[in-house]
Amino acid sequence: MAEMAQTTQTTVDTNTFTSIPILDFTQAQSAATKPLFLSKLREALVIVGFFYLKNPPVPQRSRKDFVEKSIALCNLPLEKKLEIDMVNSKHFLGYSRVGCEKTAQKTDNREIFDFLTPFPAPGPDDPIYLNVQGPSQWPDEADVPGFRHATETYLSSVGELGRAMTRLIAEALDLEPSAFVKFFNQEVPRNKLSVVRYCVPEEVPALFLEADGVCNENGSFQGVGPHKDSGFLTYLMQITPHTGLEAQNKSGTWIPVPPIPDTYVINVGRSLESMTGGVCTATTHRVNLRPEFFYDNGRALGPRYSAPVFQTLRPDLSRQELASLKLPRHITDLVKNEKVRSDAEAYFNTHFLEGPGKGTFIARLTSHPEVGKRWYPEQLAQVLNGQREFVS
């Protein structure tokens, strides 16, 4: 039996958070400081659901190459981007132009490219929700030389960080380090990477003057609406210095999550929340953009770029498997039966309890209805009707 590091036995203060904690990955590598790291990690998981991780073990060169190639990809002419239009992929992979994505039933003002670690398409007799994985669409090598290599190298590096964090989370919850291993694909982890470009304010009225919820009275607009991520953990690199990312605490207040150099923003997803019975909290978050966020002392910053990697469980996990994790009583006792305010759609809650594959499939249908119209019209109609009935 593997020996677990001893965590600090303290009572977690479950009052709502007012800032995002910063954890130092190097502390997890030393026997002397690891207990302190695990104690801070436990508190971040239970109270906040968000934390910064500084000194991450992802090579700077890998990050730099990926960022350069990603910005070049976003700067391609529209006709080149549309060669890998997401609507051509039944796996929801590829390019989604501005105005084609919705969150909380409102239009997001961003364009996004989604790529997945290598997976074959499921067979014709497999459950339809397994189509959340399959081959990625890649841009032509001549258009962005080296993009695929840089992206796959970066995704592999973040995948190694994900393996390490999976063990550390288990230890923070006083479980065996390998407690979560059975919930993941072993040979190739199912990690999805997004390259995201958020519109500058000048683009918004020109593109979507009539779109739903584009601009608010204070001039802010929805980069991406209030939501919870689907997976286990999300590893976000905020590429540019723009503010706008916000996390919603348990009283409903939005807390800024500004970029900090050489850190990842890591947050808990619905899958980790479900499998821990709500002990680890999937915190609602959004990107809420204001014109002033695109300037620094009068200097225009241009578009906001970010790159989240979503670490996800095996999509074929059943409800019973998802609920099979047993936490120690002193860990489950950390969470009070408190009511949490959230602007994320509660419609998805029960679907994610059914299993990560089913929940993710439904979420992707609602986020990318154009893909649903082409490949899954019956399922899309059912989901959208259920979404409307839930709200009403």
Contact present, 196 and 97 (Cβ < 8 Å):
no
- Per-residue pLDDT of the chain (392 residues), as tens digits, is 334 444 434 444 556 899 999 999 999 999 999 999 999 999 999 999 999 999 999 999 999 999 999 999 999 999 999 999 999 999 999 999 998 998 888 889 999 999 999 999 999 999 999 999 999 999 999 999 999 999 999 999 999 999 999 999 999 999 999 999 999 988 888 999 999 999 898 877 555 544 555 556 567 888 999 999 999 999 999 999 999 999 999 899 999 999 999 999 999 999 999 999 999 999 999 999 989 999 998 899 999 999 999 999 999 999 899 889 999 999 999 887 666 667 665 666 676 778 889 989 999 999 999 999 999 999 999 988 887 777 65
pLDDT at 218: 65
Looking only at the bridges linking them, the beta strands covering 191-198 and 110-116 are antiparallel
Characterise 97 by phi-psi region: left (phi > 0), alpha (psi -120 to 50), beta (else): beta
pLDDT at 221: 86
pLDDT at 187: 80
Q: Which two tokens stand for residue 238?
A: 């905020």
pLDDT at 349: 66
245-261 confidence digits (pLDDT tens): 999 998 999 999 999 99
pLDDT at 214: 55
List Cβ neighbours of 222 (8 Å cut-off, separation of 6 or more). Answer: 103, 106, 107, 108, 109, 213, 214, 286, 287, 288, 289
Contact present, 351 and 344 (Cβ < 8 Å):
no
pLDDT at 346: 65
Between CA 3 and CA 325 the distance in angstroms is 19
Residue among 217, 206, 211 nearest 99 (CA): 211
**Dihedral sign, CA of 324, 187, 196, 168?**
positive
List Cβ neighbours of 110 (8 Å cut-off, separation of 6 or more). Answer: 98, 101, 196, 197, 198, 199, 223, 224, 287
